[in-house]
Amino acid sequence: MAATELTKADFQSDQETRWCPGCGDYAVLYAVQGFFPELGIPPERIVFVSGIGCAGRFAYYMDTYGMHGIHGRGPALATGLAAAREDLSIWVVTGDGDALSIGGNHLIHALRRNVPVKILLFNNQIYGLTKGQASPTSERGKVTKSTPFGSIDTPFNPVSLALGAEASFVARTIDTDKQHLPAMLRAAAEHEGAAVVEIYQNCPVFNDGAFDALRDKKRGAENRIELVHGEPIRGVVRAPDGSLRLGSEPSGAPRDSLTARDDGEPVIHDAHREDPSFAFALSRLSLTPDGPTPIGIFRDVKRPVWNRDLPPARELGESDLDTLLHAGDTWKVSG
CA distance 249 to 121: 35
Average pLDDT over residues 141-162: 95
pLDDT at 46 over 70: yes
Residue 209 dihedral angles phi and psi, to the nearest 5°:
85, 10
Per-residue pLDDT at 307: 86
Distance CA 232, CA 94 (A): 32
**How many angstroms separate the CA atoms of 42 and 7, rounded?**
10
pLDDT tens track for 187-222: 999 999 999 999 999 999 999 999 999 999 999 999
The pTM (predicted TM-score) of the whole model is: 0.89
Give the model's pLDDT for residue 261. 45
> Average pLDDT in the 219-233 region?
96
Angle, in degrees to the nearest 10, between helices 180-190 and 24-35: 50
Measure the CA–CA gap between 82 and 238, rounded to whole angstroms.
41
Mean pLDDT of 13-17: 95
249 against 333, higher pLDDT:
333
Find out whether 120 and 162 touch, Cβ atoms under 8 Å. no
Q: What percent of the chain has pLDDT over 70?
A: 91
Mean pLDDT confidence for 70-91: 95
CA atoms within 13 A of residue 334's CA, in its CB half-sphere: 0
Domains along the sequence of the chain with CATH: 8-231+269-323 (3.40.50.970)
